[in-house]
Amino acid sequence: MNLIIDVGNSLVKLAVFKNDKIKHKETVEIDLVLEHIFLLKKKYKLIDKLIISSVGKFKEKDLSIIEESFNSLILNSKTKLPFDNLYKTPKTLGVDRIALVSASVNEFPENNVLIIDAGTCITFDFITDENKYLGGAISPGLRMRYRALNNLTANLPLLDTEIPDDITGNSTEQSIHSGVVNGTLKEIDGVIKEYEQKYSDLTVILTGGDAKFLSKQLKSSIFANSNFLLEGLNYILQFNSNK
């Protein structure tokens, strides 16, 4: 069994996989990670390998304990990947994007795939049916757009994410919702259509914290998968374990 550790900006996702299936998933604060890792080890005694994504916020002591206790893989730019990485600056490619592309290789082999991760940022990543990762795009996410309007202006309020009543906002609040939400939807739909013009057999994956909110309103045909990043990390661990 594999233990997946995905370190985010403030929280950490832990997942236990048996082969390709998630047996357990939880989200914890980073200060409690070590405690929860060993609770999971106690519960799932067959855990023998783990992968850590984004180690920057780990205490060196905690990381040392983990590496001493498990057969560990720290995901970074030197990790062997299940695809041909043609990104010109591989050292700056986020480990979350690496994991998402790896998941697409595992689930949709020999397909042209566009992966859209709608989180703090919206990332677009494209891999060809010849297993070549070409890159993509990075754009502000929904919450970042709302916050930018509030932080960088004198009078615009900070609003919670909400589906606008109409394309034409009849108040300042509705105008903000229309600009942020409709702007994001039009951007995503536009990017998808541009890729579809080049690749008629395109598969589109939508994941991330805002995937459920956005997927209901997007016009394009997509696969929504909230566990795609975790599945990608598990596949990278399996891929390296077989080397």
Six-digit token string for 18: 């048996």
Q: How far is CA 34 from CA 9, 45, 71, in A?
A: 17, 16, 15
Whole-number Cα distances in Å, 239 to 36, 41, 111, 115, 146 = 25, 22, 19, 20, 39
Q: Say how far apart CA 65 and CA 68 lie, in whole Å.
A: 5
DSSP string, 207-226: ESTTHHHHHTT--S--EE-T
134 C-beta neighbours (distance < 10 Å), count: 12
Annotated ligand binding at 120? The verdict is: yes
Catalytic residues: 96
On whether the CB atoms of residues 115 and 228 are closer than 8 A, the answer is: yes
- Residue 172 assigned to a binding site: yes
Sign of CA dihedral 32, 38, 41, 43: negative
Residue 97 annotated as lining a ligand binding site? yes
8 annotated as a binding-site residue = yes
147 is known to lie in a ligand binding site? no
Residue 95 is assigned to a ligand binding site: yes
Q: Is 11 annotated as a binding residue?
A: yes
> Is 96 annotated as ligand-binding?
yes
Residue 183 assigned as binding residue: no
Asked whether 90 and 80 are in contact (CB, 8 A), the reply is no
Rounded Cα distance between 14 and 25, Å, is 6
Q: Answer yes or no: are the C-beta atoms of 176 and 159 closer than 8 Å.
A: yes
Residue numbers belonging to the annotated binding site: 6-13, 87, 94-97, 117, 120, 172
Residue numbers belonging to the annotated binding site for K(+): 117
Residue numbers belonging to the annotated binding site for ATP: 6-13, 120
Residue numbers belonging to the annotated binding site for substrate: 87, 94-97, 172
